[in-house]
């Protein structure tokens, strides 16, 4: 069987307030806001904000559901840190940058011989910037974080588990990751050969389990890029052969197709297929993330949805500048199933959003 998982597609987190999240991602992590849309499950309008590198590349996309209406509980059985690559020798720059923003951080640390700094989002979510010399992806620059020090995309993620065994088997057998090594309580796995697809299982046997549903301060899931609908169907069959019969149906998320599986350690794992145009279907490279887009099947409820969302603003210096966001054609036309109409049955949920009184 060929490897169906090509790497990480995106990581989805639940912050609290939307503006607080935009400010942290765009100013502290120096990410580009690349899409404003809404959560497609449930009947309460919740933003779905996407942040990424200059090209909004798969494998650089952190997404957030600002869920201030309900707190979550961080713990084991969850993704505990989202990790970005930074150029070699820049960990100290990032430590100083975090100091300037008065955000809590770990100082420069080392894991598997690489320098990194761990930093805390105001809601408690953890991020790391990890030195990785081989990453040539197109970084997004801001006034404070120039291209030569900026993040390139994901290095990977840290997942907290109380028992490594079954989660390890899930990664190596169900998703075909390779085990790379062990450093103290960290067990490292990698998908494919490229940069940016590393999973560190953090063995924390005494850590209480975190919550599974949407809740501020917790990660919700990690998504793997399988590229095509055909690969999703094969992966679904492979999951079922291994006994993971709780895998969801394949859902139409407009910018990609998704199916979800609860993995043995408790972490929700999504598998995705790309669709023609991806994030560029409804915006030009320079317009990405500048206004709220709804999937076509929600457009008739735009007024009710918008009236229930807090307005957000991207700081001026973090917005795209004309002529600076030319995006390579290979990124715009991300690999996808060449047949326009998907050959797999897609599930599409449509809620009725009641207008706020």
Query: Which residues of the shown chain bind Fe ion in the complex (CB under 5 A)?
Result: 12, 223, 270
Cβ within 8 Å of residue 190, ≥6 positions away? 156, 177, 178, 180, 197, 198, 199
Q: How far is the CB of 327 from Fe ion (least distance, A)?
A: 22
Q: How far is the CB of 255 from Fe ion (least distance, A)?
A: 10
Q: How far is Cα 342 from Cα 40, in angstroms, rounded to an integer? A: 19
Q: How far is the CB of 44 from Fe ion (least distance, A)?
A: 18
DSSP string, 59-80: TSEEEE---TTSB----BSEEE
Q: What Rg, from alpha-carbon coordinates, does the chain have?
A: 19
Q: How far is the CB of 61 from Fe ion (least distance, A)?
A: 9
DSSP string, 121-162: -TTS-EEEEEE-TT--S-----SSS-TTTS--SEEEEEEEES
Q: What is the DSSP letter of 53?
A: S
Measure CA 258 to chain center.
13
Residue whose CB is less far from Fe ion, 197 or 325: 197
Residue whose CB is less far from Fe ion, 139 or 271: 271
Q: Determine the straight-line distance between the first and last CA of the chain, rounded to whole angstroms.
A: 55
Residue whose CB is less far from Fe ion, 14 or 164: 14
Q: How far is the CB of 12 from Fe ion (least distance, A)?
A: 5
Residue whose CB is less far from Fe ion, 21 or 270: 270
Residue whose CB is less far from Fe ion, 74 or 219: 219
Q: What is the DSSP letter of 188?
A: E
Residue whose CB is less far from Fe ion, 252 or 270: 270
Q: How far is the CB of 270 from Fe ion (least distance, A)?
A: 5
DSSP 3-state assignment of 41? coil
Q: How far is Cα 76 from Cα 69, in angstroms, rounded to an integer? A: 23
């Amino acid at each position: 069987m060929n490897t169906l998982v090509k790497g990480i597609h995106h990581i989805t987190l639940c912050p609290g307030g939307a503006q607080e999240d935009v400010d942290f991602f765009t100013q502290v992590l120096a990410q580009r806001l690349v899409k404003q849309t809404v959560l497609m499950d449930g009947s309460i309008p919740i933003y779905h904000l996407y942040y990424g590198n200059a090209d909004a590349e798969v494998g650089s996309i952190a997404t957030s559901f600002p869920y201030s209406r309900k707190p979550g509980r961080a713990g084991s059985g969850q993704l505990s840190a989202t990790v970005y690559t930074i150029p070699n020798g820049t960990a100290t720059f990032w430590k100083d940058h975090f100091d300037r923003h008065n955000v809590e951080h770990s100082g420069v640390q080392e894991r598997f011989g690489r320098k990194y700094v761990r930093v805390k989002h105001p809601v408690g979510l953890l991020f790391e910037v990890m030195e990785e010399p081989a990453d040539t992806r197109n970084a997004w620059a801001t006034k404070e974080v120039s291209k030569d020090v900026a993040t390139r995309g994901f290095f990977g993620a840290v997942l907290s588990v109380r028992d490594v065994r079954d989660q390890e088997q899930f990664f190596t057998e169900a998703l075909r990751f390779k085990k790379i090594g062990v450093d103290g309580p960290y067990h490292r796995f990698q998908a494919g050969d490229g940069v940016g697809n590393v999973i560190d299982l953090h063995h924390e046997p005494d850590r209480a389990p975190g919550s599974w549903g949407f809740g501020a301060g917790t990660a919700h899931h990690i998504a793997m890029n399988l590229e095509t609908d055909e690969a999703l169907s094969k992966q679904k069959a492979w999951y079922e052969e291994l006994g993971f019969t709780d895998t969801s149906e394949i859902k139409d998320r407009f910018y990609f197709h998704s199916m979800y599986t609860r993995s043995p350690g408790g972490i929700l794992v999504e598998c995705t297929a790309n669709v023609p145009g991806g994030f560029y279907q409804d915006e030009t490279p320079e317009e990405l993330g500048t206004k709220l887009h709804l999937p076509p099947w929600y457009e008739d409820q735009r007024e009710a949805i918008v009236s229930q969302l807090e307005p957000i603003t991207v700081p001026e210096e973090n917005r795209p500048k004309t002529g600076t966001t030319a995006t390579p054609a290979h990124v715009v036309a991300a690999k996808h199933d060449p047949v326009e109409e998907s050959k797999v049955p897609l599930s599409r949920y449509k809620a009725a959003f009641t207008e706020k009184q």
